[in-house]
């Protein structure tokens, strides 16, 4: 185990710890608390990166299987086992990612018994399950190679070729079906991405991503374990990748041209810039780099090209399942940090399993042998002393275990401290409205026009208390926004410091907190027991004033306006019209997404603005 491996593992454990914290919140509080998803953007990072990206990343398994076993290119045999391991763990990671993303994850097995062959996702689910089984059988020999189950080991080796061909066929299906998934949403997906040939395009790009991922991964493991990469193999794979990338580019642009959409690619919009950025880092730059013989033979060159390709094709999946749909929905979706933590945490967790299997099973023989020699050496090394914590760390394996677990625990606690426990709601501060004929209320301002003057004329000046149910000390007719300061969220209106100061210091505790009981909010006196005089008796909410927080303006206003108007309408003597209907107050047009888009494009307005204001 090299220093690099240890540091990498430390980082991976830390991220896994953060993810573990978010996991707890995700499964006890729901998707609303841990994601920025909404009804307008029901699929986010977890689908785009973990599922769409994950499946495509794991394509290396079937691509290398085809090259090495079906086309029998002997020199790529080195790459087969790591690629199959990546695929196996990649698909397992997809399954785990799905468990996070599904609203009812305990029903994840339902596609087994409830069938809908018309759904691309049903097809994907079946293929992924089948392929996980195939991959496991393909990889099982690695676990069995150094055990006494030699009969089973040899049988599985004989089955290798049929299994690989089966795996290739199943992969063809679900890699392309992930493209089919998006065929149903021509109205969401930008035309630069949407084409009836999405399935074929997804299949080709999966092959590209599979190849660059294998290159990326072998150069990373070589760097981690400080051994020479198989230069010949990498150069060969680079050549394959160049071919695949060229084909992908040709296919994609031919398709655009064929459907007469090439012109779209030269407008100046966010989507077009995104399109060119994606094309550049996924295909064009790696293709150019791979075409240069000197780059193909340089470890750094191959690594950079492959890394760009991996990021580019991941971006392609994220674009297709999200970013390229903003065009239609106009939605502000940016993943919460908790979403990133889970995505990276799953990757980290499976990377740790990958390294563990590499170090303990003959995936790449050099690594496991070196690891065994290293372990033998460790038996004769003195325990290490950590100056920071003043602790003896035991031998090196124990020491690293202590460090990793400490990192995990610290990350877990930090994560739990940072993760929100309440659903994410953006604050919608309420504008202050006071006096005047007509009050513009709500957010955006003017959602509701309240005829203040009309109410005064009709009810008389004495009737202010009907609505103004509580005044701030020293104030009369305190405006709603003073306490109901947010449209949706509760606002704390109790000021302990001020109470202590006004009630003459520490000796006054007993005025609110009864003797012999803990001095906490739960046991304190109700506000209304002192503030009777600040409250108006003649309104509908007076009796409810007991909590230390004021509800959001919407709830407060609906409560006071609708109840009052409903009471009046119900009284046959008053002969009041039924003014408790929504339309009585709500007259502002709702801006629709298409108009929002126009507004943004024209005036640079970032906040949604009602047309009425």
CB of 410 to another protein, least distance (A): 8
Question: Per CB under 8 A, does 37 bind another protein?
Answer: yes
Q: Which one, 312 or 345, has the nearer CB to another protein?
A: 345
Query: Are the beta carbons of 18 and 336 closer than 8 angstroms?
Result: no
Task: Decide whether 226 or 232 has the Cβ nearer to another protein.
Answer: 232
- 250: contact with another protein by CB under 8 A: no
Nearer to another protein by C-beta: 188 or 471?
188
- Note whether 360 binds another protein by CB under 8 A: no
For position 63 contacting another protein by CB under 8 A, the verdict is no
Q: Is 261 in the site for another protein (CB under 8 A)?
A: no
> 526 by DSSP, 3-state: which?
coil
Stretch that binds another protein, among 146-154, 278-286, 301-309, 579-587 (CB under 8 A): 579-587
Q: Locate 543 and state its tokens.
A: 């009796």
Residue closer to another protein, measured from CB, 130 or 466: 130
Instruction: Give residues 507-526 in contact with another protein (rule: CB under 8 A).
Output: 517-518, 520, 522
Alpha helices in 430-529 (DSSP H): 452-459, 496-502, 509-512
**Minimum gap (Å) between residue 182 Cβ and another protein:** 9
Rounded-to-integer distance, Cα 222 and Cα 353, Å: 17
Answer for the pair 548, 527: CB distance below 8 angstroms, yes or no: yes
CA distance 376 to 370: 10
Query: Strand 549-550 relative to strand 391-392: parallel, antiparallel, unpaired?
Result: unpaired
Q: Which of 57, 139, 558 is nearest to 361 (CA)?
A: 139
Distance in Å, CB of 421 to another protein, minimum? 9
DSSP string, 539-560: STTGGGTTSSEEPPHHHHHIII
593, 597, 600, 609: which one binds another protein (CB under 8 A): 593
- Residue 56 or 399: which CB sits closer to another protein? 399
Under the binding rule (CB under 8 A), the answer on residue 607 touching another protein is: no
93-112 residues in contact with another protein (CB under 8 A) are: 101-105, 107-108, 110-111
* CA distance readout (Å), 322 to 45, 91, 537, 601: 8, 21, 53, 20
Touching another protein, residues 456-495 (CB under 8 A): 487-489
Number of residues located near another protein, criterion CB under 8 A: 127
Rounded Cα distance between 175 and 90, Å, is 14
Please report, as residue ranges, which positions from 318 to 357 form the binding site for another protein (by CB under 8 A).
328-333
Return the residue of 10, 236, 465, 479 that touches another protein, per CB under 8 A: 236
Instruction: From 604, 317, 553, 362, select the one nearest 447 (Cα to Cα).
Output: 553
Contacts of another protein in 157-186 (CB under 8 A) = 161, 165-166, 168-170, 172-173, 176-177, 179-181, 183-186
- Residue 345 neighbours by CB under 8 Å, 6+ apart: 15, 16, 18, 19, 20, 22, 23
Nearer to another protein, 284 or 610 (CB): 610
What DSSP string describes 268-283?
A: -SHHHHHHHHHHIIII
Is 71 a binding residue for another protein by CB under 8 A? The answer is yes
- The only residue of 60, 199, 335, 442 in contact with another protein, by rule CB under 8 A: 199
- Binding region for another protein (CB under 8 A) out of 3-11, 270-278, 362-370, 383-391: 383-391
Query: Which of 18, 36, 367, 535: binder of another protein (CB under 8 A)?
Result: 36
Q: How far apart (Å, rounded) are the C-alpha atoms in residues 104 and 111?
A: 13
Q: Taking the CA of residue 496 as centre, how many other CA atoms within 13 Å lie in the half-sphere pointing to its CB?
A: 9
Distance (Å, whole) CA 528 – CA 526: 5
Q: Does 276 bind another protein (CB under 8 A)?
A: no
Nearer to another protein, 104 or 151 (CB): 104
């Amino acid at each position: 185990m090299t220093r690099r491996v240890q540091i990498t593992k430390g980082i991976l454990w830390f991220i896994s710890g953060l993810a573990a914290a978010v996991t707890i919140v995700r499964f006890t509080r729901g998707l609303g608390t841990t994601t920025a998803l909404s009804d307008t953007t029901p699929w986010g990072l977890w689908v785009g990166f973990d599922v769409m990206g994950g499946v495509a990343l794991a394509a290396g398994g079937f691509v290398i299987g085809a090259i090495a076993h079906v086309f029998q290119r002997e020199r790529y045999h080195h790459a087969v086992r790591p690629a199959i391991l990546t695929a196996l763990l990649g698909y397992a990671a997809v399954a785990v990612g799905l468990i996070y993303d599904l609203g009812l994850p305990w029903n994840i097995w339902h596609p087994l018994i409830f069938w809908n062959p018309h759904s691309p996702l049903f097809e994907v689910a079946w293929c992924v399950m089948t392929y996980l089984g195939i991959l496991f059988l393909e990889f099982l020999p690695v676990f069995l190679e150094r055990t006494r189950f030699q009969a089973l080991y040899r049988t599985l080796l004989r089955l290798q070729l049929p299994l690989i061909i089966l795996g290739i066929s199943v992969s063809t299906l679900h890699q392309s079906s992930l493209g089919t998934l998006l065929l149903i949403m021509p109205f969401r997906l930008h035309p630069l991405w949407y084409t009836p040939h999405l399935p074929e395009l997804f299949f080709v790009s999966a092959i590209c991503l599979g190849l660059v991922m294998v290159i990326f991964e072998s150069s990373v493991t070589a760097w981690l374990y400080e051994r020479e990469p198989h230069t010949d193999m990498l150069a060969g794979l680079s050549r394959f990748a160049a071919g695949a990338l060229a084909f992908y580019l040709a296919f994609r642009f031919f398709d655009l041209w064929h459907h007469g959409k090439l012109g779209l690619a030269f407008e100046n919009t966010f989507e077009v810039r995104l399109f060119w950025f994606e094309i550049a880092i996924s295909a064009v730059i790696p293709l150019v780099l791979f075409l240069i013989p000197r780059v193909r033979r340089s470890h750094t060159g191959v690594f950079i090209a492959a890394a760009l390709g991996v990021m580019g094709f991941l971006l392609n999946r994220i674009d297709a399942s999200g970013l390229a749909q903003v065009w239609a929905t106009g939605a502000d979706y940016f993943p919460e940090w908790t979403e990133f933590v889970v995505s990276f945490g799953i990757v980290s967790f499976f990377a740790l399993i990958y390294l563990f299997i590499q170090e303990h099973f003959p995936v790449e023989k050099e690594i496991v042998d070196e690891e065994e020699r290293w372990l033998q050496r460790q038996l004769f090394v003195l325990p290490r002393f950590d100056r920071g914590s003043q602790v003896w760390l035991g031998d090196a394996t124990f020491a690293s275990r202590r460090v990793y677990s400490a990192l995990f625990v610290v990350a877990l606690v930090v994560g739990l401290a940072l993760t929100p426990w309440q659903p994410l709601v953006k604050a919608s501060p309420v504008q202050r409205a006071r006096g005047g004929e007509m009050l513009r209320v709500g957010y955006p301002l003017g959602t509701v026009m309240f005829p203040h003057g009309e109410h005064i004329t009709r009810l008389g000046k004495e009737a202010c208390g009907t609505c103004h149910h509580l005044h701030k000390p020293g104030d009369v007719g305190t405006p709603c926004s003073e306490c109901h300061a947010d449209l949706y969220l509760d606002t704390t209106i109790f000021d302990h410091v001020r109470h202590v100061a006004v009630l003459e210091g520490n000796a006054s505790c007993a005025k609110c907190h009864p003797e012999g009981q803990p001095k906490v909010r739960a046991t304190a006196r109700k506000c209304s027991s002192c503030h009777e005089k600040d409250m108006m008796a003649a309104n509908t909410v007076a009796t409810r004033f007991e909590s230390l927080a004021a509800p959001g303006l919407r709830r407060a206003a609906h409560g006071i306006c609708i109840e009052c108007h409903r009471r009046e309408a119900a009284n046959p003597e008053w002969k009041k019209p039924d003014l408790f209907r929504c339309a009585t107050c709500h007259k502002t047009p709702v801006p629709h997404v298409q108009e929002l888009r126009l507004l943004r494009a024209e005036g640079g307005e970032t906040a949604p603005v009602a047309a009425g204001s």
